[in-house]
Amino acid sequence: MARLRIFPFVLAVASAAVFCASVEAQTGTAQDISASHLKVRPVPDVRPPTPFPPGSETAGVAPIEVRSADEMTEKDRELAADAESSIGERTGFLGLGFSESKWNYQELVCPALPNHMFLRYTRNSGAGDVSIFTASIPRGGEGRVRIIPIQMRGYSLFSPAPINALTISAFNHIRAEENPEKAPDWLGTALCYAALAGGHAEAAKLTEGSQSQRFTTAIPAMLQIPVSGGAVIEFTDGPATSRQMQWTMTFDRKGKLLKATHVRAGLLVVNDVPQRAGEVKGTPLPPTIADVDSTGHPIQ
């Protein structure tokens, strides 16, 4: 009787084992089938589109070179002479009086926009009577002569040139005519805009001295890439003087300049305080409870 009771139990255990093996086999087959049909693709890093990739600035970027008419190449002087009639025509619409008196000009050499020549024209008729404008001349005939007015008889036309919509529009057309073969230099591009708008042609640096130091309260040159794309360039131009200006330029995803601002950058002056050797100023503090022993005498 005992053997008859044990036999059904053995059959039940054997059946359970066969069932488990069957389930495992089916599960393994299902996993193999799923794995064979599963397509795995790497997820790319989310990078907002920007016209100035990080690290695109030229190492040790130099300030915009300013050349006098005598320092210009013969080819550039010929290009300036050929464009003189177009400059006179376009400045006539703005009332700058290009044909009324003598103007002097300098060339602004901008490596970030090599397919254009830039000339800054100045007419100085005395204190309070200075007129300035910048002329953009395309090299190779692709594009047209553009005028960026800065001052007329000591006053700004329309609004200050650095934030003027006409300046921004002219700059966008100039960049569109460039057709660059590689990613543009963001700091060089910003310095170029500042130079065309009448600003200084160099990024400011800190001055060093043994007795005193001057620190700009504005931030150094930097590129910010918003989450939505585009780029924001900020820098401070000019030498370390009270005339420093902080520039901010906002570009869209395709490199179009949307907005430009500039404000006066303050200076933080730090001077050393002279002190005689061995001289200690101040009065010693009285001893506290932690500085006395159980008898109330100061701990030596």
Give CA–CA dist 246/55, Å, rounded.
Answer: 21
- Dihedral sign for Cα atoms in the order 282, 286, 289, 294: positive
The per-residue pLDDT for 110 is 92
Confidence category of residue 116, pLDDT binned at 50, 70, 90: very high
**Of 150, 198, 194, 148, whose CA–CA distance to 173 is shortest?**
148
**Of 103, 100, 90, whose CA–CA distance to 137 is shortest?**
90
The per-residue pLDDT for 7 is 44
Give per-residue pLDDT as tens, 31-75: 554 555 667 777 666 678 888 877 777 665 667 899 999 999 999
List beta partners, residue 264. Answer: 245
Give CA–CA dist 196/118, Å, rounded.
Answer: 8
Give per-residue pLDDT as tens, 146-165: 999 998 876 776 678 889 99
What are the structure tokens assigned to 170, written together? 């002219």
**Of 102, 101, 113, 156, whose CA–CA distance to 138 is shortest?**
113
The per-residue pLDDT for 100 is 78
Higher pLDDT, 236 or 106: 106
Give per-residue pLDDT as tens, 187-229: 999 999 999 998 876 666 544 444 445 544 556 788 999 998 9
Residue 13 reports pLDDT greater than 80: no
Confidence category of residue 10, pLDDT binned at 50, 70, 90: very low
Cα-based angle 59, 143, 258 (whole degrees, multiple of 5): 60
The per-residue pLDDT for 12 is 47
Helix (H, G, I), strand (E, B) or coil at 105: strand
Cα Rg for the chain, rounded, in angstroms?
Answer: 36
Residue 281 reports pLDDT greater than 80: no
Share of the chain above pLDDT 70, in %: 63
List beta partners, residue 117. Answer: 137
The per-residue pLDDT for 296 is 57
